[in-house]
Amino acid sequence: MRPRRARGLLTIGATAGLVIGTLAAMPAAGATAATGCAVTYTTNSWQGGFTANISIKNLGDPIKGWTLGFTFPNSGQKVVQGWSATYGQTGSAVTAKSLDYNGSLGTGASAGIGFNGSWSGSNPVPTSFTLNGVTCTGSTGPTATPTATPTVKPTATPTATPTATPTVTPTSGGGTPLGINGRLHVCGVKLCNQYNRPIQLRGMSTHGIQWFSRCYNDSSLNALANDWKADLFRISMYVQEQGYETNPSGFTDLVNRYVDMAESRGLYSIIDFHTLTPGDPNYNLARAKTFFASVAARNAAKKGVIYEIANEPNGVSWASIKSYAEQVIPVIRAADPDAVIIVGTRGWSSLGVSDGSSESEIVSNPVNATNIMYAFHFYAASHKDNYRSTLSRAAARLPMFVSEFGTVSASGDGAVDVTSTNAWLDLLDSLKIGYANWTYSDAGEGSAAFRPGTCSGGTYTGTGVLTQSGALIRDRIRTADNFPTG
């Protein structure tokens, strides 16, 4: 569909929001000194990498603009990707400078930031922090005796995991999407419910769970189900890019927890084996068999799980994608014979359009399996009439599901194209094609639904926390579903 966007967090030296050079723990331009502060630093490590989340609390006078400074104890520790601040590193010294939206901190106010890092040798926790040049001791005054130390919560999984039992647990009966529709199946070219009637599921996709697990918790899932009135939660588990291959058991457990959280709120879930780089899914064939054998056996009794076996194949022929699918699907079927399975398509799941092909290669040579659908992905500012025409033709011959789309350009960033997005959603609604929007996260990119920093604050409801993309998609998703039961 594109030269693929770098869809993770910002990378040092790569783009605005992260800088590299000679840095010191100095106040931001125009900032005022902090007279007291406290910092909590929590980290989750895996071999060679870690995620750090930092909470900064201003205990002194109000400040406008801040710079947090600290030093890594080990010279092998590096900031790789960060969010909610502008990061820089010289040697072991790190600074994080506030952004426009979180630079003002009143007395007692807090800001949450974080980053992904790499390490060699060891990964000790920094023990001293400064805010605008003043040492953070947990009380006011630059020479106060420290009263708080950073908190470390190591875990075997690469990110913080949600609780296994949500605090608000609407049953999967009654008026929830799962309660109404029950187990789904493919009938003809449509996705059908337990009454054998075509339906459309509408929902959101996570960002990479190795980076954004802080966004997926009881409060955010409650908002998705009750405020957004969504039907679907897509769980994007990257395989490479600090994902599954680094900790197979940890990521498998995390995916299963998210499935449980979605089910308890009456939402369907898509388990997305997020292959992206390299583009040939056969590179991960053994990993896919291991992963899907495990999650299918564990979730076979559930009615709301859909399996997406290869996110966006690219640089590879349809014949190779088909071969991969015909080896992975039987693994799922051995444990879960009735589940719907989504198969990725050529050219970043564009039905081959982004490679100069079309749906005809699939129509003439479909996957040899039943109860499957084919993925189509688009980004509204980049992919317009020719992509819409292809999907319209394909939907008359093939069961289609838009398991990922964005309102912005194929980079995942840039301005929201409202006109093209609405044209796409009108088309999907008219064809009853289900969809998941990229992304239910606070990533610093135009496709994110939440403003940066939202996931550190814990409030997910209403429009005040949403980006332009989030507000547009929430407005479309929360309109009434049409789930026929007769």
- For the record, the structure tokens of 462 come out as 């209403």
In 3-state terms the chain splits into helix, strand, coil percentages (rounded to 5) of: 25, 25, 50
Residue 381 C-beta-side C-alpha neighbours within 13 Å:
16
* Active centre residues (catalytic): 312, 404
As beta bridge partners, residue 203 has 232, 436
- For the record, the structure tokens of 168 come out as 């608000």
Strand order, beta sheet including 134-135: 86-90, 93-97, 67-71, 129-131, 134-135
In the three-class reduction of DSSP (H, G, I as helix; E, B as strand; rest coil), residue 290 is classed as helix
Torsion of CA 422, 425, 426, 429, to 10 degrees: -160
What is the spatial distance between Cα 89 and Cα 397, in angstroms, rounded to a whole number? 54
What is the spatial distance between Cα 450 and Cα 215, in angstroms, rounded to a whole number? 10
In the three-class reduction of DSSP (H, G, I as helix; E, B as strand; rest coil), residue 94 is classed as strand
Q: DSSP characters for 109-173?
A: -EEEEEEEEE-SS--PPP--EEETTEE--SSBSTTPPP---------SSSSPPPPSS-SS---SS
Query: Which H or E element spans position 318?
Result: helix 318-335
Torsion of CA 75, 124, 211, 372, to 10 degrees: 110
Contact residues for 196 (Cβ-Cβ < 8 A; gap 6+): 187
Peptide linkage before 278 cis (omega within 30 of 0): yes
Instruction: Tell me the CA end-to-end span of the chain in Å, nearest whole number.
Output: 39
